[in-house]
Amino acid sequence: MEVYLDNNATTMVDPEVFKAMEPFFCTIYGNPNSLHKFGAGTHPKMVEALNFLYDGINAADEDDIIITANATESNNTVLKGIWIDKILNGNKNHIITSEVEHPSITAVCRFLETQGVSVTYLPVNDEGVIDAHTVKEYIQEDTALVSIMWANNETGKIFPVKEIGAICKEAGVPFHTDATQAIGKIAVDVQACNVDYLSFSAHKFHGPKGIGGLYVSKGNALTPLLHGGEQMGGHRAGTVDVASMVGMGLAMKLAVENLEFENTEVKRLRDKLEDAILELPETIVIGGKANRTPNTTLISIRGVEGESMLWDMNQKTIGASTGSACASEDLEANPVMNAFGSDSELAHTGVRFSLSRFTTEEQIDYAIEVIKKAVLRLRAISSSYAYTPKNHVSQL
């Protein structure tokens, strides 16, 4: 049996989405900017897709949704646009973000620091979230942007975006949120949360890879990252990938329709898997169980290297992750777990399981069986675990 439990890295394209995309490769293939019927023929489905995106995040008609290549591009567009418009060509010089953002935020912030921008990286509390009041404490006169993710990719922890949005609005500071891991898992409402910029990637909610979006609230347009043609009203040049845009639109519609299922059935299977692993001694859910996306669990299994677990599971055709795939090539301790102030053992023993609406009960039952055996095997050969007295109370 094959079991894919790495849906926070990417998801399967929903077959219905794939079907909707197919005509746009060999039949309706015109350039949407061409004036002839081949170009115009793409428009109805593009408009429909855009409407699904607006509805999916409750954007107002006057707001903008720019189609990008992915959340990485959306995040870069916001941070670099703010830098150009408010810092280089304005009187601001400060950005607030968190220590646990995806590298497509933190790496850009590090780059901006080399350019003289001052960046505050807020730590997470014991529960793995940012306290909204710390955002308020750190806002300065010259703060150009607050960028805090909606949900964390590793822990699934949901951040208090509504409170942060209200704080930013009151302080007159633009608020960006990376909602890549929130869409399709929990309700996302840009208006209710006073969001100015919001990033997402279609492949995280059963759409295709290589397409994403950037929501921009009315009047907050930024200098584009890509200059060129007049596509996207001049906000993002380059011929739009129509097939992918149509796929992303439908994927968003289906994601919203499946929210209820995600928060009942997918959550039930996640909890079943989690509870079974937690029956093993000295295992904990990093960041705790409260307030998480329904599909994610990040579990530390004392004495078991995350990478070894992945190896054992992979042998039995189960795919999970030790954290973000984007950072998994180096064996540095997971930065997100480090941000919890954990000891280094904890940071090396986390395994992330992320389910989707396509995960089945049989797959979870099989995964539980394999995981339990793998933990026993790996603990039996683990030097750090073997030498620990039996009733040792873990520091974890």
Active-site residues, by number, are 326
Residue 180 or 342 having the CB closest to ligand 7TS: 180
Q: How far apart are CA 317 and CA 3, in angstroms?
A: 6
Three-state secondary-structure class, residue 336: helix
- Does residue number 359 form part of the binding site for ligand 7TS (CB under 6 A)? no
Distances (CA, A) of 373 to 177, 273, 318: 40, 14, 13
CB of 170 to ligand 7TS, least distance (A): 26
3-state helix, strand, coil in the chain (%, to 5): 45, 15, 45
- Does residue number 278 form part of the binding site for ligand 7TS (CB under 6 A)? no
CB of 159 to ligand 7TS, least distance (A): 11
- Does residue number 231 form part of the binding site for ligand 7TS (CB under 6 A)? no
Indicate the residue type of 204.
K
CB of 125 to ligand 7TS, least distance (A): 19
- Does residue number 298 form part of the binding site for ligand 7TS (CB under 6 A)? no
Residue 41 or 323 having the CB closest to ligand 7TS: 323
Q: Which residues 307-336 are close enough to bind ligand 7TS by CB under 6 A?
A: 324-326
Residue 70 or 300 having the CB closest to ligand 7TS: 70
| Side-chain-side CA neighbours of residue 382 (13 Å) | 20
Residue 28 or 145 having the CB closest to ligand 7TS: 145
Interface residue with ligand 7TS, options 28, 67, 96, 149 (CB under 6 A)? 149
Which pair of structure tokens corresponds to residue 172? 């007159």
Indicate the residue type of 109.
C
213's CB contacts (< 8 A; 6+ apart) are 53, 65, 66, 67, 68, 74, 199, 200, 202, 248
| Side-chain-side CA neighbours of residue 350 (13 Å) | 29
Residue 107 or 278 having the CB closest to ligand 7TS: 107
Q: How far apart are CA 301 and CA 283, in angstroms?
A: 5
- Whether residue 102 contacts residue 90, with contact meaning beta carbons closer than 8 Å, is answered with no
- Whether residue 214 contacts residue 78, with contact meaning beta carbons closer than 8 Å, is answered with yes
- Does residue number 67 form part of the binding site for ligand 7TS (CB under 6 A)? no
Count residues near ligand 7TS (CB under 6 A).
17
Q: How far apart are CA 203 and CA 208, in angstroms?
A: 5
Residue 326 or 380 having the CB closest to ligand 7TS: 326
CB of 71 to ligand 7TS, least distance (A): 4
Applying CB under 6 A, which part among 14-22, 174-182, 329-337, 372-380 lies near ligand 7TS? 174-182
Q: Which residues 69-128 are close enough to bind ligand 7TS by CB under 6 A?
A: 70-72, 102, 104
Instruction: Enumerate binding residues for ligand 7TS (CB under 6 A).
Output: 8-9, 70-72, 102, 104, 149, 153, 178, 180-181, 201, 203, 324-326
